Each structure stands twice: as structure tokens, then as C-alpha cells.
Amino acid sequence: MKIFNTMTRSKEEFVPLEPGKVRMYSCGPTVYNYFHIGNARPFIMFDLLRRYLEYRGYDVKFVQNFTDIDDKIIKKANEEGTTYDQISERYIKEYFVDAEGLRIKRATVHPKATENIDEIIDIVSTLVNKGLAYEVNGDVYFRTHAFEGYGKLSHQPIEDLEAGARIAVGDVKEDPIDFALWKASKPGEPYWESPWGHGRPGWHIECSAMARKYLGETIDIHSGGVDLCFPHHENEIAQSEGANGKPFANYWMHNAFLNVDNQKMSKSLGNFFTVRDAAAAYGYDAVRFFMVSAHYRTPVNYSQESLEMAQASLARINTTFANLRFLMQNGAEGEMSEKEAASVAAFEQFKQNFCDAMDDDLNSADAIAVIFELVRAINTVCAEKNVTKTYGQAAFAMLKELCDVLAIGQPEEQKDDLDQEIEELIAQRQAARKARNFAEADRIRDDLKARGIILEDTPQGVKWSRA
């Protein structure tokens, strides 16, 4: 597999540190609100990466953190007259509701910043002892200049960063490009005991501490949105490599933005839609499909049309799943026809093309195109008469295998109460016909028609659909 590495700005062959094992870390949400569909992009795309690596047989240890203490969380708690942990607990719960809807697998570990304060203090102390950090009035800052290689991820020479940095009024830092590792707490704020007095961690340090604790000093893949590249990931590198004296991550992956009207969707711009709202309008599955249908490094635009297109595309895949489920139950017995056998023989090639696309820096857009070619090939065969159960089973298994990697489509039958009732009525109608009570059979058919349910008598049995 090739991965585009932000560090080298090129596609590189992916070689994990330990054969067969992958250690990956992805920066997770700051939990003070429902997450918006811009945030959903990295969550879905790196879940996809993890699923694909697992599909290829890797044992993946995946860590995605929750930032559960920060200014915005404290502000929200003050506004609501509650505590920071009430706010973060609430939105962690809500994160999992949306993540489950979007079929984002739980990470191996979802560590929280506040549960790793000892590790954070430990790494800050190491940096102070090494002369890479210093304390001023209870704050601790990273001495950016002292870390060789600062700017290497975002490809900015430190001189350019220095030239662009502003000295803020009342700044106590040695250099404007230094950044906070630990902040002295203000009166009334939550705090933890530390060698520098009461305080709380800065944002960047938690990822260095948690990546090391759960994955080790050097990890395979580190990922997040492109806005995190600088300064967040640059600072993570400085902290981790400064403290451990080892490379931090071998591959850096960044997703492009999800935009609205060509502007980044963000909480601060106020142009955001929560996943909760998008799911209410289009369904979680359509949101995931929309996301997966674009390559993660291509900017995408969120619009009603694009979500409606996703719904329609997904419906095509689901129709094929439904037809195949029907065929598996009601298809012809016996051997496959020549045409069916030829179709099955071609499945391996679809699978190969699918993997080639995914191996090319997780090109899920091309992978979905392969799924649609497969759907077309299956539909062509299914349009024939007397298609066999055996073909139904083989085609279903192939389509399910590829769709499951992307976690799209409906291989499982999703029955609601109405479906159950319809099926009971269809069974009653069949019984009436068998008893030659055609008046009753027609009555049931008309009754269903009035409710928008169309019955079709096929050689394989009765098929129904919504008009």
C-alpha cells in the first residue's frame, strides 16, 4: 500500500515498524458540542484506513483521544452553571451516538486528556530537564528554537515562522514562537497539582503523552485534518522527539477540508451543520457514503445536491443487495448457467481493482467506482430468467465483502414493523391463492396497493416494493 506522507510530500510504500502490526493515532474531538460534518471527515476517513488495513490482515492498534479539558469546555460549563467534566461526559456520549450511526468503529483506546495528567506532567518534566522547556509564573513553555527540525512537517523554515510571529502584550515567553505545555490555572478554573503549581495541560502535549503511553515512542501513522498540520502536529513532533530522542511518526496523513460555499466548515465561522442534523435530513448511511465517495485529500463541498446524490447511489447498491437476498431464498436450484459462472469468475478481478484503488493512498473514490462496476455486472446477470441460488450467494458474498470494507450499503435486511406486516399479508395472500380463494387474494393485493406496496409474481416467488 502507498500512503501520501505529508512529511515527505510524496506517496511512499507503507512499511510498518513491526510486520503485520500497525500503530496509529488520530487526533480526536474537543468535546463541548455535537460534532459537525467537517469533523466527521477525519473520523470516517481514518476509520476507513483502519478497516482497510484490518481487511488486509494487519493487527491495528488505533488510538483516538478526547480533548476533555480546554478553554471552550470551561466556557460552556460556566455558561451552563455546571462543571467541565459534566460537559465533556455529555458530549463524549453524544460522540458515540453519532459515530455508531456513521459506522465508525470504536478505537482500540479512546483516552482522555484528564485521565493522563501524570503522563503529561512526566513528559513536560523531561522537556524542562533537557532544556527544551522553561517555566514562567506557573506556565511551562516549549523552547521552540532549541528543537532542531521545527517546521519540518509543514515545510516552513523556523526563520519564516519567527518573522511571522507577533509578540503579544504582556507575553512572558522567551520567544513569540514558543508554545504552552502547561498553563497555570486562573482563579475558579479546574486545576491539577504539578511541579509548577496548580495548572492544566496545554492542548498539544496531551497527544504526545497519550501516543507514547498507548502506542510507544515511535508510531506508524499519525493523522488528522489538514488544519492540524501546523501548529498542532508540528508541536507534537517537537514535544515527542524532544522528549524521547526518537522519530515520532513514520507516516503523516492529513485530510482536506469539507467546505460550505467554498469556505471551511467550522464552529468559529458559524457555517456548520452537525452530523446529528445531517443524519436527520439524509440518514447516517448517506453521510458516510458521501464522505467515502471522495478521496480524503480532495476538498469536498457539502450541499443538498451532493447528499441527495449519495442517497441515490446508495439506494442502487441496496437494491442489488435486496435482489440478491431474494435470489438466495427463491432462486433456481441446480448448477449455474455459463453466463453466471463467467460472471463469478470475473469477481476476483473486481476485488483486485478494488484493492489497487485502496492501495493507492486510500483512493476510496475509485474503490466505489469498482463497486458500481460490480453492481452493474451482477444486475446484468440477474436480469436473466431462472438465475440460481448459487449465483445469488456468490454475488452477495462478493458485494458484501467489498461494501463491508467501506462500511457502506445494507447487506443485512433492515426490517421495520411495517415490513413485517406486509410480509404477513403476502403470506396470507399466498395461502388464499393456494386455497383457490382468489377474491381474498385480490383483496389483499388491492389493500397493499392502496398503501403504496406493489406485488410482483415472479418465477421465484412474490417480490414486493414500495411504489
Residues that bind ligand AMP (CB under 6 A): 27, 29-30, 38-39, 41-42, 224-225, 227-228, 255, 257-258, 264-266
Q: Are 127 and 133 in contact (CB under 8 A)?
A: yes
Q: What would the grid cell of residue 455 be?
A: 406485488
Q: How far is the CB of 205 from ligand AMP (least distance, A)?
A: 15
Pick the closer one to ligand AMP by CB: 256 or 377. Answer: 256
Q: Does 398 bind Zn ion (CB under 5 A)?
A: no
> Closest separation between CB of residue 206 and ligand AMP, Å?
12
**Which are the contacts of 208, defined by CB distance < 8 A and separation ≥ 6?**
123, 236, 239, 240, 243, 248
Partners of 224 in beta bridges? 254
Residue with smaller CB distance to Zn ion, 216 or 283: 216
Cα(432)–Cα(336) distance, integer angstroms: 33
* Chosen from ligand AMP, Zn ion, none, partner binding at 207 (C-beta under 5 to 8 Å by type): Zn ion
Residue nearer to Zn ion on the CB measure, 27 or 399:
27
Name the minimum Å distance from CB 210 to Zn ion: 9
Distance between CA 203 and CA 189 in Å, rounded? 16
Task: Identify what 38 binds: ligand AMP, Zn ion, none; CB under 5 to 8 Å per kind.
Answer: ligand AMP
| Shortest distance in whole angstroms from residue 395 CB to ligand AMP | 36
Q: Which is nearer to ligand AMP, 44 or 317 (CB)?
A: 44
Query: Are the beta carbons of 76 and 89 closer than 8 angstroms?
Result: no
Do the beta carbons of residue 39 and residue 265 sit within 8 Å? no
Express the helix, strand and coil content of the chain in percent, nearest 5 each: 50, 15, 30
Residue 41 site contact among Zn ion, ligand AMP, none (CB < 5 to 8 Å, cut-off depends on kind): ligand AMP
CB of residue 62 to ligand AMP, shortest distance in Å? 14
Smallest distance, ligand AMP to C-beta of residue 215, A = 18
With contacts defined by CB under 5 A, how many residues of the chain interact with Zn ion?
2
By a kind-dependent CB cut-off of 5 to 8 A, residue 373 interacts, out of Zn ion, ligand AMP, none, with none
The residue (of 97 and 172) whose beta carbon lies closer to ligand AMP is 97
For the bound state, the minimum distance from the C-beta of residue 52 to Zn ion, rounded and expressed in Å, comes to 22
29 binds, among ligand AMP, Zn ion, none (CB under 5 to 8 A by kind): ligand AMP
Q: Which stretch binds Zn ion (CB under 5 A): 22-30, 86-94, 168-176, 321-329?
A: 22-30
Structural contact between residues 49 and 42, judged by C-beta atoms closer than 8 angstroms: no
Q: Which amino acid makes up residue 269?
A: L
Rounded to a whole number of angstroms, the minimum distance from the CB of residue 68 to ligand AMP is 12
Q: Work out how close the CB of 272 gets to ligand AMP at its nearest, in angstroms, rounded to a whole number.
A: 8
CA within 13 Å, CB half, 383: 6
Distance CA 5, CA 252 (A): 5
- The contacts of residue 142 (CB under 8 Å, 6+ apart) are 127, 132, 133, 178, 179, 180, 181, 235, 238, 239, 242
Residue nearer to ligand AMP on the CB measure, 131 or 299: 299
Per CB under 5 A, 207 contacts Zn ion: yes
**Residue 42 binding result from ligand AMP, Zn ion, none, given CB thresholds of 5 to 8 Å by partner type:** ligand AMP
Measured from each CB, the residue nearest to ligand AMP is 225
Amino acid symbol at 105: K
Short-list 440, 328, 448, CA closest to 382: 328
Q: Closest approach of Cβ 122 to Zn ion, in Å?
A: 18
Sign of the CA dihedral with 109 first, then 267, 281, and 373 last: negative
The binder of 240, among Zn ion, ligand AMP, none, by C-beta within 5 to 8 A per type, is: none
CB of residue 98 to ligand AMP, shortest distance in Å: 13
- Among the listed ranges 152-160, 187-195, 199-207, 424-432, the one in contact with Zn ion (CB under 5 A) is 199-207
103 or 429: whose CB is closer to ligand AMP?
103
The verdict on 378 binding Zn ion (CB under 5 A) reads no
User: Would you count residue 181 as binding Zn ion (CB under 5 A)?
Assistant: no
Q: Pairing relation of β-strands 263-264 and 258-260? A: antiparallel
- Residue 27 makes contact with Zn ion by CB under 5 A: yes
Give strand ranges (E) for 99-148: 133-136, 139-142
How big is the chain by its Cα radius of gyration, in Å? 27
226 binding Zn ion? (CB under 5 A)? no
Instruction: Report in angstroms the alpha-carbon separations of 283 from 92, 305, 315, 385.
Output: 21, 14, 12, 35
Interface with Zn ion by CB under 5 A: which range of 26-34, 327-335, 340-348, 373-381?
Answer: 26-34
Ranges of H-type helices in 245-330: 275-282, 284-292, 304-330
Which residues here bind Zn ion, judged by CB under 5 A? 27, 207
